[in-house]
A and B are shown apart, each in its own frame.
Chain A
Amino acid sequence: MSFVWTLAEQHEGRLKGVSFELLGRGRALADALDTKLASVVIGDGVDAAQLEALVHRGADEVYAIQDPRLASFTCETYSNLLVHLIKTYQPSVLLAAATSTGRTLMPHVAVRVHTGLTADCTELAIEPGTGQLLQTRPAIGGNIMATIKTPDHRPQMATVRPKSSRPLPADPTRVGKVIAVPLDDFLVDDRVRVTGYRRDALDFVNLEEAEVVVAGGRGMKKAEHFDLLRDLADAWGGAVGATRDAVDRGWLGYPHQVGLSGKTISPRLYIGAGISGAIQHLAGIKTSDTIVSINSDPDASLHKVADFGIVGDLFDVLRELRRRLQERREEGPS
């Protein structure tokens, strides 16, 4: 019984994309260990088609624990449940997303089942010979990559950065078991009550799950100029990020802040305009797939870490870029 498990995440009955990314990771590990891959869904109202999609994307088994009392994440009940499942089934590897949920739940569970946990992994592999999980993560603001093992405790637990890998393509011919597990009353801890969600906050943004982030810094000069970045982000269906300086000036709300005291993101494409590239900002973007920098200063640090840099006035460059993308759209598919 050396199962690999991934924890699927849902919000209001919809599975999040990261649940499928985790399956891609888990599949590779399970294959290397010649074992089965299971996905655990904790929530409410996730329909059969979505559960089946987990099988299509790599799971051999899906454990679905659905109950109205699990609709919103509360650490206490989710932790009781996950600890109970781990003790019952004894998986050898457990992966979750490095999201607000995963980064809260996993350390809580790791303490209770007495095992190690590695946060924010960007690479996972099985060590040949020992079959142990090698967990690699950036540390010290992305200045080093540390590889960590949990030699003597099980499960080996890790949280994985969203967008740090791509899901497997769906294979509708894959077959697997979907097992509904009831929620036992004794696992419910109702000390913490979720009374709702607030999204009205002026300009809320889901940066962590965006594939493309277009970010602006002090060089944007004014709040209104961020419309330019929004137009570009919209072209990709992406999101707008900002440096601390831009947020502290009130140009955008804190949910947009990227970096040491804001969010850490790994989008497929990050475009930074008017951003110097201070070490505290870089800490939040270093694991992005592709980095583009637009800055009039040829010596800006962001140029140095960028895959593509343009030395020039950001307003000229962004307007031209917007115009060209619009043109492409009007021309239609080529």
Chain B
Amino acid sequence: MSGRKIGEVILDLQNISLRFGGVKALTNISFDVREHEVRAIIGPNGAGKSSMLNVINGVYHPQEGRINFRGEERRKMEPHMAAMQGIARTFQNIALFKGMTVLDNVMTGRITKMKANFLEQAIRIGRAGREEVEHRKKVEEVIDFLEIQHIRKTPVGRLPYGLQKRVELARALAAEPSMLLLDEPMAGMNVEEKQDMCRFILDVNDQFGTTIVLIEHDMGVVMDISDRVVVLDYGKKIGDGTPDEVRNNQEVIAAYLGVAH
């Protein structure tokens, strides 16, 4: 990894608890994320990893706990607010807009940056038309970066799984986020696709300094690319530290017994 500098803590979660009816998805979890780092969340199925991401960008609202993002304390945040503040994400089960082309999906990723109101768009004069062209440029850059030029005008529903995952990443990147949340970006991919995806993630981190929070089951990948790892099990935090520290943590080994790599 290159000369990028890991900075201050920009996201700090304190004593987060989240319940769904009787199910305790997260219990009293605290952890932080530093600027420019690659932070991994790992844990067995149902551990609460996805829920953690959902709490960070406001899809779920924890019953208890505090979240501090860039020095701002928040009790409750709606997802679009998180987007405005520069948090983008991808989903465990691909959540692309199926009826739209790749280009439109990625263009949609820039929505927070487009300012023309609907009347201007309806008549397409002035700002509205200019904006479409400007943002199209940016979007094409992202498309080039992720090497998906050839499928630009294909409806996403027709793409194979691996490419869909990549388009989803493109959509998130189009927002030029300062923090990127990735929920199992490599699940279901073959080795080659995984390598590509790893490269893209590291490149994003490297070139744009984007902070990355990543959920991944492939231990090899996690240990390779992350700076720090937090381990969840049954909604509780059982380990937190560098990949090496986590690897040697007794509790983590116990939780992963039989699953460990």
A-B complex is real: no
Q: Which residues of A contact B (CB under 8 A)?
A: none
Which B residues contact A (CB, under 8 angstroms)?
A: none
